[in-house]
Amino acid sequence: MEWDREDVTKQIRRWFVDHVATVNIFRRGEREIQEILWKKPGTGVNSILYIIKNRTLCVQGDLGEAVYRWSDVINLPFLAGCYLDYFAEKCEASECGRGFKEWNELKAREYLDDWLSQLAEERECNVSDLLTHEHEDVTASELRSACDNEHEFYIMLDSHYGLFGSDWGESSWGEDIAIRCIYHNVGLKMAHEQLGDGPYDVVSYTPEAEQGLSHLSGPIIIGAKPKRSVFAKIAGLAMQMGRPRA
């Protein structure tokens, strides 16, 4: 799969144009959870639920699940101000692992073209001559076609030591921030554009009310049989999402 970040961001903003942000803040003493639901009214398709507690952001919904964590307490205005690379660095768990990276064919081809151009410049020849004279077993087209698949790409790098040397394994040639991470980042920015910096309405609750929360995005139901507290659910999600990718 290939994509350009700027084009994807513009497309996501078009997809989210009818989404509406709603926020609830549950507080007891100094303990607080912010819950932001980002969805199009009347449908749950492409909805995102953001759950903010202290230093941790948990994301659930149709567009992927992830856990992000900072060193200090966070809120919506802060998250909306995070640029994409910084935001992705704070991802501790996702379907793509830490950092929320996945293979981008376009980025792999760009790295490959830059590498060959620099190498040809160093050897004072053009790329075609570089491959023809020194590596007759491969063409530029064959090298670029290997970018379509991460596994084939790294086999290609390993097979042509004369071109790529031994240090390529230390670089992330075709890895890029996953599109689902961009969804999360853009959704926060657009939600903040609607909601502003606050203050937002607070729903104060008692221990009994906390026990009655049947799910994170649902209403407070007094007297319902407790299964897990909101805080336990967040911890459970973090543990589940923290499992390493196979």
Per-residue pLDDT tens for 92-137?
999 888 888 887 777 778 877 887 787 778 777 777 777 776 655 6
Whether 246 maps to a domain, the answer reads no
Q: Report the distance separating Cα 67 and Cα 151, nearest Å.
A: 27
Q: Under a CB-based contact definition with an 8 Å cutoff, are residues 182 and 101 in contact?
A: no
Domain boundary among 147, 173, 199: 173
Looking at the fold, whether 80 and 16 belong to one and the same domain comes out as yes
Work out the mean pLDDT of the chain and round it to a whole number.
Answer: 76
Looking at the fold, whether 98 and 187 belong to one and the same domain comes out as yes
Total number of domains in the chain: 2
User: To which residue do tokens 């980025």 refer?
Assistant: 107
Range of the domain at 151: 105-173
Whether 114 maps to a domain, the answer reads yes
Domain boundary among 173, 203, 231: 173
User: To which residue do tokens 């205005």 refer?
Assistant: 77
Looking at the fold, whether 236 and 200 belong to one and the same domain comes out as yes
Looking at the fold, whether 141 and 203 belong to one and the same domain comes out as no
Phi, psi of 93 (to 5 degrees): -160, 135
pLDDT value of position 81: 96
Q: Report the distance separating Cα 116 and Cα 74, nearest Å.
A: 43
Looking at the fold, whether 9 and 96 belong to one and the same domain comes out as yes
Looking at the fold, whether 68 and 139 belong to one and the same domain comes out as no
Looking at the fold, whether 169 and 148 belong to one and the same domain comes out as yes
Cα 192 to Cα 72, 196, 217, distances in angstroms = 20, 5, 19
Looking at the fold, whether 188 and 212 belong to one and the same domain comes out as yes
Looking at the fold, whether 98 and 117 belong to one and the same domain comes out as no
Domain boundary among 125, 143, 173: 173
pTM value surpassing 0.75:
no
pLDDT value of position 31: 80
DSSP bridge partners of 24: 35
Whether 145 maps to a domain, the answer reads yes
Whether 133 maps to a domain, the answer reads yes
